[in-house]
A and B are shown apart, each in its own frame.
Chain A
Amino acid sequence: MKLRAALLGAVAVAGLAPAAFAERGTDGEVKLTFPQAVSIMNPYLSGGTKDILAAAMVLEPLAVTDPDGVLVPRLAVEIPTVENGGVSPDLTSITWKLLPDLKWSDGTPVTADDAVFTWQYCTHPEGGCSQATKYEGVASVEAVDPSTIKVTFTAPKPNPYTAFVSGLSPILQKAQFANCLGAAAPTCTDANNMPIGTGPFKVTGFTVNDTVTMEANPNYRDPAKPAFAKAIIKGGGDAESSARAVMETGEFDYAWNTQIPPDSQAAMSAAGKGQFVVAFGTLVERLEMNTTDPDPALPEGERSTAKHPHPILSDIRVRTALSKAIDRSILVEVGYGAGGKPTCNVIPGPAEWASDNDGCIAQDMEGAKALLDEAGWKDSDGDGIRDKDGKKLKLLYQTTVNPIRQDFQALIKDWWTELGVEVELKAIDPGVFFGGDPGSPDTFQKFYADVEMYANNSETPDPESYLGQYQCKNAPTPETQWQGENINRFCDPAYDALYAELTKTTELAKRQEIARKLNDMVTKDSMIVVPLVHRGTLSAHSNSLGGVRINAWDMETWNVADWFRVK
């Protein structure tokens, strides 16, 4: 998997050289701050990025993806491939070799048994493991010898780098978690909060949803690292206060997820204490079009289901017109600044996977108006709102409560009003919107609105499972308790067939080609999904912190061992 960087913005690579001369623990303390505090240090019991970021400083997988999208070994000697014999030619198994003399922070050796145990831990039926998808399709994990791990799949796996790869599925110490299998998992509070790992730091103190204190791991494999003797992660507050603590007061060295308005970004940078860094993954802010009718007059259970096609948005010309009316560059300027760029794709990167579709970038108000005219929506009574067969062109547009999203709503409403569309806006508490409670009318899955806006991304550079969301069978319905990822209720047999082909294809170039085609099918060909902005993750670090290489393909703390104090 050779992936090229989709990396913009200032990345501090400069000054890596001095780190080589550093000694472990000579640079004092590194202080990180997260807007959301760390709840638990065990990634298998948490899904929140905040927790996994912290855990990645302590627990390590066999391999991680670097900022260029290239897989690099961590606990493994090398990345197994078909060429070096690590992956079986039929793609049904992968064999990893552990580094020699690996030790846990308590001094005991790391063996292949730990990996086997980790697999058992996450796949236990009563455990409720949040990273279960990482082990999907794994038939068995064996310890061939103390330093060799063999993962066997139930079927040929084109992308065998899921289990034990990335900060999402690190290796746990068997000795520490042995009594924590299944239903007992949550009762192991000490293990979950202070896991023993192989990473550059070890946890010395943990207060839930507040502070994690760490010190350099005395048994870390590189005797010169980490440069810092201590690390602390303080959580809580908001993006604004985190950014301020790094950029203006200089109390902290690193702040994760500092998404603040572009004006404030500029003002804070001017203080000269730190800098913002950004990495672009696959996160796309998009408008989702409802293909089914959300009319409140319909009986409960039929509203927003395939039984009733949407009276307005079923027409592709209307959807296209709505997209054409939007000027995405203004959205970026207002909401994200350096942290975003206009896009027309659901998969905006990595470059090999991204379609070249950019037809939506230029705003075309006249073209949009012409399309609506053509579709029969005309302003017959002169009130500025188009209508057809006595029905007004009126849309309910919902999203979560978030200042940037509210600005987007206001701008898009203005454009659509110019188009002759009446728009009603609605903002919903994010906990409710994403909560998926079938009893609430306001979840994004239920989609009791015409258009909704949020962001989604692919967890891995390979977007297979991400594209699987738009299969017909994944539509949320009352029968599935309104669970499902195909929230547009998009249903195209051609898409499903092509997707089935993707799951069977093993050749990389072919996979990328199919993925690009699938991307086009949901975006420019059907306008079911109207992408707006390709969002980066924006973080901030102080000028005195060196070695930071922000990473969109894995945890941002992936190279914390290389961080050092600029003198």
Chain B
Amino acid sequence: MTDVSTTQPKPSSQMRDIWNQFRTHKGALFGLVTLGILIAAVLIGPYLWIPEKLSVAEAIKLKNQGPSLRFPLGTDQLGRDMLARMLLAGRVSLAVGLVAMVIAIVFGTFIGILAGYFRRLDSPLMRLTDMFLALPLIPLLLVMVMLFRDRIAGVIGPELGAFTLIVFAIGITSWMATARIVRGEVLTLKEREYVLAARSIGAKPNRIILRHILPNVVSPVMVAATLGVAEAIITESVLSFLGLGFPPDFPTWGRLLFDGLQYMQVYPERVVWPGLAISLTVLSVNYIGDGLRDALDPRIRGR
């Protein structure tokens, strides 16, 4: 089996190769464009779509409206404009979903590779993973809030503090599956002929890991990443029920979905919008992951 990356000395041209391959992947481009649109919408949208200023009494009269020109996505049970809330919610949900996923994936992959590659680290790291898997999630989160919320908020302000804490909390509780999967893969990879060959010519472990192992664990990691985004967006809404999340008037997709649930029979669109947004995000991350995996696979890249 050949590893193209070792025969191509310049990393820049390798990057270009990957990009060229990535571009030919229709799904991946669709994913990239969709995610780009979503991100742009939530970043710029709140400046373009400014909801009317209504007093409480006026707003209440307009509650639970269906989509119209005035309210493109309708209004909620307090007469708030759903489009404005969806855009605002998307900022948090996308940021939390993507950042928490990256933290979990990077940390999980790191632990998994160390445990799989270095036999001495395997046992302690995997027992640590077992422990994290066994810890009941809710008490863990409650303890984290109790210990850190005020302290973090004191240093970087309440909103950024809440974001940091949420992202950290989700990251720290969702890396274990990735770590176990990566470790399992590394265990078989490191006995493969090309790794043995690299080792026999005296390659350093960090080089073997970066050049030979890492590219080959990309595909399970990509699946974990796709799952991770969806999970992080949903987990964020769970966290707000523990008082860990953002202030209660701060919308997120997960929370809008949950709030809409009790109105599902009467006003189904209330759950459709956030549900659609989450699904689109996950779908686009998945396709990007697919494209990335194909692009990183030298056997496909040459074709």
Contacts and interface: CB of A to CB of B under 8 A. Distances in A.
A439 B263 contact: no
Given A415-B56, A432-B142, A425 B248 contact: yes
B297 interface: no
Interface stretch (B210-218, B226-234, B236-244): B236-244
Nearest to A412: B56
Contacts of B52: none
Interface residues of A, number: 33
Interface in A406-437: 406-407, 409-411, 413-415, 418, 424-429, 432
B78 interface: yes
B7 interface: no
A263 B263 contact: yes
Given A415-B56, A429-B142, A439-B146, A406 B262 contact: no
Interface stretch (A304-312, A326-334, A481-489): A326-334
Interface in B129-144: 142
B249 interface: yes
B69 interface: no
B262 A432 contact: no
Given A411-B56, A425-B248, A240 B262 contact: yes
Nearest to A261: B262
B57 A426 contact: no
A261 B263 contact: yes
Interface in B222-274: 240-243, 247-249, 259, 262-263, 265-267
Interface in B27-85: 55-57, 59-60, 63-64, 77-78, 80
A440 B154 CA distance: 17
A441 interface: yes
Contacts of A267: 265-266
Given A263-B77, A409-B248, A410-B78, A330 B60 contact: yes
Contact of B241 (A264, A411, A429): A429
A429 B243 contact: yes
B191 interface: no
B248 A427 contact: yes
A562 interface: no
B56 A327 contact: yes
Interface in A264-282: 264, 267
A414 B59 CA distance: 11
Contacts of B241: 401, 429
A114 B71 CA distance: 67
On chain B, which size bracket covers the interface?
Answer: 20 to 34
B158 A424 contact: yes
A327 B249 contact: no
A347 to B, nearest CB: 28
Contact of A330 (B57, B247, B267): B57
B3 interface: no
B78 A425 contact: no
Contact of A426 (B77, B154, B247): B247
Contacts of B154: 296
**Chain A contact surface mostly:** helix
A403 B262 contact: yes
Contacts of B142: 429, 432
Given A264-B266, A410-B249, A426-B248, A441 B146 contact: yes
Contacts of B265: 264, 267
Contact of B240 (A240, A407, A427): A427
A288 to B, nearest CB: 18
Contacts of A334: 60, 63, 77-78
Contacts of B248: 401, 406, 409-410, 425-427
A432 B154 CA distance: 21
A414 to B, nearest CB: 5
Given A264-B265, A426-B248, A427-B240, A407 B56 contact: no
A260 B265 CA distance: 13
A441 B57 contact: no
B73 to A, nearest CB: 18
A401 B263 contact: no
A409 B263 contact: no
A442 interface: yes
Nearest to A240: B262
Contact of A441 (B150, B266, B267): B150
Contacts of B158: 424
Interface in B66-120: 77-78, 80
A479 to B, nearest CB: 22
A330 B56 CA distance: 9
A330 B77 CA distance: 12
Contacts of A403: 259, 262
B56 A414 contact: yes
A30 to B, nearest CB: 27
A261 B55 CA distance: 22
Contacts of A333: 60
Interface in B157-209: 158
A427 B242 CA distance: 8
B78 A264 contact: no
Nearest to A439: B146
B155 to A, nearest CB: 13
Nearest to B153: A296
B160 to A, nearest CB: 15
Contacts of B77: 261, 263, 334, 407
Contacts of B263: 261, 263-264
A399 to B, nearest CB: 8
Nearest to B146: A440
Given A267-B266, A296-B150, A425-B249, A442 B78 contact: no
A429 B242 contact: yes
Contacts of A296: 150, 154
Interface in A284-299: 296
A332 B289 CA distance: 49
Contact of A263 (B59, B64, B249, B259): B64
A424 B153 CA distance: 14
Contacts of B150: 296, 441
**Which of A261, A410, A415, A418 neighbours the largest number of chain B CB atoms within 10 Å of its CB?**
A410
B243 A401 contact: yes
Contacts of B262: 240, 260-261, 264, 403
Contacts of B64: 263
A410 B142 CA distance: 24
A298 to B, nearest CB: 13
B282 to A, nearest CB: 25
B248 to A, nearest CB: 4
Interface string A461-495: 00000000000000000000000000000000000
Interface string B279-301: 00000000000000000000000
B148 to A, nearest CB: 12
B247 A442 contact: no
A234 to B, nearest CB: 21
A410 B79 CA distance: 11
A429 B248 CA distance: 12
Given A261-B77, A263-B77, A330-B56, A413 B146 contact: no
The 10 lowest CB-CB distance pairs between A and B, nearest first, are A427-B248, A428-B243, A406-B248, A425-B247, A429-B242, A414-B56, A267-B266, A429-B243, A401-B241, A425-B248
8 contacts: A261-B262, A263-B266, A330-B57, A333-B60, A409-B249, A418-B56, A426-B248, A429-B142
Given A403-B262, A429-B241, 15 more contacts: A240-B262, A260-B262, A267-B266, A296-B150, A330-B57, A334-B63, A407-B78, A410-B78, A414-B56, A415-B56, A424-B158, A427-B243, A427-B248, A429-B243, A441-B146
